[in-house]
Structure 1
Amino acid sequence: MGELIRTGRLVALAAVVVGLGMGTARARPQQQQTQANDGVPGNAQGPAGPIPQLSIRAVPANPGDPIAVVNGQVISRGKLADECVSRHGLEVLETLIMRSLLDQAIKAKDLSVTAAEVDAEIDRNAARSGIDREAFLRALAKERNLSPRQYAEYIAFPGVALRKLAEPRVQVTDEDVSKAFEAYFGEKLVVRMILVDTLAKAKDVWNKVRENPGGFAKLAQELSMDTDSAPIGGLLAQPIGRHAEPLQVSDAAFAQLVDGDPNDSDPTHKPKDGDFTGPIQVSEAAWVIFQREEVKPSQEVDRADPTIVAQMKAQIHEAKVQAEMQTVMEELFLQSSVENHLTGQVKHSGSKQAETSVRDEEVSRARMSRPDQEIPDSKAVEQLRAYEQQKGDPDAEIERPVGAPETPGLPGSSPAPE
């Protein structure tokens, strides 16, 4: 949670980079082992026959072509493709859909992405990880099962394309620079935090804190869902700066614990150490209550120093580009029309949600491909379920107003035997 407050938005397309210190894989020499078939009728011991040599051929292209032959039994390319689709089809298809959207977008803007730009993007990502290019690619292959070609095509290329689409929309203003100086060199708020997942729980915690403000740390240990800060009484490892993401959290924290009511001139009413906030919503399933530990004063800095200003502008520009890249991708998806025949879903342009229109076997295939994701039933299954429900409700064919009573039975009648 502390990290969520301190960091800004990042584009969702960046791959997770593994840690440092990974060594190269060691090649293991192949060992040929021979086994005598003692005691097996018909298998007399003797010198082994010549090992058949396999000739290198092109990968079969047609679905019916053999991809492997096991004791004379053929495994076709089509069977291999079906198995790959059932296991990883949805994940790969989503990547291809994203790539297709980006290809169309850069073509519409008369832009292009060169191989040199993709190479430079890989080098930049490796440098951000603190390792050289070769070690970076080896780490991705080992930890994420991504080949250099896959990384270049489906991660580095989209990164370059999104940046080209997003950068013309980004402008660094004087207000941005002023806020950045406040965020980096301004006051820092040291707080304890209690994180819960509902507003009702947040209100309950707030009432308990009101009754005993000195017991905030103990309540954090007992009630906070943040596993990093709860064991140490809710104390966040890093202080909160102004204008930190999420903005609604940092703005509320500073307003309640540092700035106070601008219309109240009574100095005794100003926030002080030990004060706490009301429930602050972080997301739909996250609410926090902060208690002020201390406020670290601002640092003295020359805001006219051209070197510092240039560094600030560069960092602001990069942060805004990253945020705009995410926005561009969301807009492309919103404007797109996508027919996903693997999941049987159709998304119309301008709609965020996809509609279900599939055959039953396609639903089954999609569920095999992504067992951890809920795939909706086909319309045929939905109609069958509705029919089964109607059989159990004789009045289902007549639409009753909401709240209307059930149809009464005849006086003196008894239930019919089954």
Structure 2
Amino acid sequence: MKEIRMIKTIKMIVLPLALSAMLVGCSSGNSSMIASVDGEKITEAELNEALTAQYGVEVLDTLITDKIIELEAEKLDVSVTDEEIEEEYEDYTNEYGGEEAFLEVISSYNMAVEDVKEDIKVYLLTLKLMEDYVEITDEEVETYFEENKATYGQAAEVEANHILVEDEKTAQEVIGKLNAGEDFAELAKEYSTDTATKEDGGNLGYFGKGEMEEAFENAAFTIEIDSVSEPVETDYGFHVIKVTDKIEEKEAEFEDVKDTVYQDLLDSKVNEQYSTWLEEKMEEYKIENKLTD
């Protein structure tokens, strides 16, 4: 049975919704050609038969499960708003580095944004349906916070730009020009060998500890805002680093994050108890499955 976080684990990566649409969309009696080899045609019926044999049970299981959730939501008058779906969708796109990268991923699996949002709707409905079932107490929320306190705090971060060159002599040349008043971004375009950042002035954005090579990290966290480092050597070459902002580490306060902690605990408990809950719900419905019966 599928896990509750099915959007990224099952449907998007292993079993795209587009596949289920193809399975239910192709008539088993359809002899229309969908491909050919030396004039020998392969029909939609043959494709459907092959897909059903390989993935039919899993796809149908998913459709049955989604139907149970839909019926439960109707019975208990549970719904999700478009705003809730959009908020969750934004979270997913952010996890993939933005909507453009996210769209590339789902496109590679022949999925559309509408497919993902429908999946999100089912996910959010399931959370709401199971909220009373998992019975979260205030004490559990506080305990979960204490056990995961570091997760909710603000880690120290640095925002920096860099110019990467091959040798220390060139790095010193760049520093000399900076000291003479030349623009960092323009020098990055001229000198930097980091093709991913040079056209953006060497911008690396914000990063925390453990994300960069140790020498680079030590320099970036040590120098002051708007200061430029001495040449820093890493496996990539020599860096001239300019720090543009810093965010100080801050310990989380329970009152500030308790809603987030509650939601995280709900996600965790739903994942743990989802299979049991679903099995109980399946007993309440008359289910016919001609692929397995």
TM range, normalised to the smaller chain?
0.3 to 0.5
User: Is the helix fraction higher in 1 or 2?
Assistant: 2
TM value normalised by structure 2: 0.47
TM value normalised by structure 1: 0.34
Higher RCO structure (Cα 8 Å, ≥6 apart):
2
